[in-house]
């Protein structure tokens, strides 16, 4: 009895090579997301030197959304029509208005590295809110993860719980970061449910562009209510930081994230949430002289353990 080994055809070989190259590019895109989004926290801190918080977010996302929409239009891709705008407005307000607005507000009083650690608790909010609105039941491991994460956050902010001018401002920043997480969680859950309808036919980048545009408009309104326009000034340093946030943090970051999400397992892509805070802490300590001691490192480690348990399949 003879055994014949299957020999791949030329087309199959080309397909395998193409998939291999796609996978390599996808990992490069994921690494780009890790690096770029991990450094945006320091860029935000620098931009805040002269640019008011809500107005800075408004400029960042309105300009980035416009650039991305123009690029997609030139490429001939279909942009979301007026029927899709109401849901995209909701997503823009939740993900970027509350989500990014809360992060920027927090960084006025909380070091950029610690802000990144606090923002990394988003999985706790997503898991809890998903269960509250009829999602998957929480396993014992996830409950333990939520508890450990909460202990980590308390350990992180414990010395600041005594009331005082500076400590009160720090706590306001911590609360703002958690409002950002809540907004991001609600927006993410809404986006997932929206994705089961006609939104499945939309381009990921086109959707992101319009979310940025509508989120930017919401932040412009918030900046007007908070009387920020009169305080807007620029210098070379803050203008460069804003440019970095627009081009790298928003346009390139979102594009790389969408590409990685398309070609890699979502569990792999989601690991950026672990890398970003670590990189943000390192960059903040090295280039901005931000404080980071043993207690903060221990608290951050506790938070990461909680996140790992909550994100466990």
4 assigned to some structural domain: no
Cα gap 9→227, rounded to integer Å: 67
In SS3 terms, 100-145 reads as: HHHHHHHCCCCCHHHHHHHHCCHHHHHHHHHHHCCCCCCCHHHHHH
Q: In this structure, what is the dihedral angle of CA atoms 68, 70, 72, 77, given to the nearest 10 degrees? A: 140
Higher pLDDT, 159 or 39: 39
Tokens of 23: 């996978």
Q: What is the mean pLDDT of residues 27-33?
A: 91
What tens digit of pLDDT does each residue of 47-94 get? 999 999 999 999 999 999 999 999 999 999 889 889 889 999 999 999
Kindly state the average pLDDT of the residues 263-288: 80
C-alpha pair distances (Å), 124 with each of 69, 107, 119, 270: 32, 21, 10, 14
Could you tell me if residue 274 is inside a domain? yes
pLDDT tens for each residue of 256-267 = 888 887 788 766
Q: Which residue has the higher pLDDT, 24 or 161?
A: 24
User: Residue 223 has what pLDDT?
Assistant: 95
- What is the domain extent for residue 44? 25-310
- Percent of the chain past pLDDT 70, that is, above it, reads 87
Q: What is the pTM of this model?
A: 0.81
More confident residue, 49 or 157: 49
User: What φ, ψ does residue 238 adopt, rounded to 5°?
Assistant: -70, -35
Q: Pick the closest to residue 124 from 97, 154, 100, 101 (CA basis).
A: 154
Q: Is residue 15 part of a domain?
A: no
Reply yes or no on whether the pLDDT at 195 is more than 60. no
Q: What pLDDT score was predicted for residue 203?
A: 79
Q: Residue 8 domain-assigned? A: no
Least confident of 43-47, 135-139, 223-227, 250-254: 135-139
Closest CA to 44 of 35, 54, 29: 54
Give a yes or no: residue 116 inside a domain: yes
As a whole number, the mean pLDDT across the chain is 83
Checking if the pLDDT of 228 tops 90, the result is yes
17 lies in some domain: no
Q: Is pLDDT of 45 > 80?
A: yes
Domain count within the chain: 1
Q: Please indicate, yes or no, if residue 18 is contained in any of the structural domains.
A: no
pLDDT over 90 (residue 309): no
How many other CB atoms are found less than 10 A from the CB of residue 58?
A: 28
Q: Does residue 9 lie in a domain region?
A: no
- pLDDT of residue 253 exceeding 80, the answer is yes
């Amino acid at each position: 009895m003879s055994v014949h080994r299957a020999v791949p055809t030329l087309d199959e070989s080309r397909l395998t090579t193409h998939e291999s190259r796609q996978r390599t590019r996808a990992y490069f895109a994921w690494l780009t997301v890790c690096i770029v989004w991990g450094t945006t926290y320091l860029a935000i801190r620098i931009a805040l030197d002269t640019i008011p918080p809500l107005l800075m977010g408004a400029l960042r996302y309105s300009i980035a959304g416009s650039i991305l929409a123009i690029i997609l239009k030139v490429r001939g891709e279909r942009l979301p029509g007026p029927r899709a705008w109401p849901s995209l407005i909701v997503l823009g307000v939740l993900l970027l208005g509350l989500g990014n607005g809360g992060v920027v507000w927090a960084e006025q009083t909380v070091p950029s590295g610690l802000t990144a650690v606090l923002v990394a608790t988003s999985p706790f909010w997503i898991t809890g809110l998903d269960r509250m609105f009829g999602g998957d039941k929480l396993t014992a491991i996830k409950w333990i993860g939520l508890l450990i994460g909460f202990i980590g956050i308390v350990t992180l902010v414990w010395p600041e719980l005594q009331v005082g001018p500076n400590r009160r401002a720090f706590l306001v920043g911590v609360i703002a970061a958690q409002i950002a997480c809540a907004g991001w969680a609600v927006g993410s859950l809404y986006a997932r449910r929206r994705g089961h309808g006609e939104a499945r036919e939309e381009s990921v980048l086109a959707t992101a562009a319009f979310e940025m545009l509508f989120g930017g408009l919401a932040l412009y309104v918030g900046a007007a209510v908070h009387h920020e326009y009169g305080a807007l000034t620029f210098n070379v340093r803050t203008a460069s930081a804003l440019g970095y946030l627009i081009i790298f943090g928003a346009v390139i970051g979102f594009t790389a994230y969408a590409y990685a999400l398309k070609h890699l397992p979502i569990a792999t892509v989601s690991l950026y949430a672990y890398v970003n805070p670590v990189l943000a802490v390192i960059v903040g300590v090295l280039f901005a002289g931000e404080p980071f001691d043993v207690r903060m490192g221990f608290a951050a480690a506790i938070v990461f353990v909680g996140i790992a348990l909550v994100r466990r399949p």
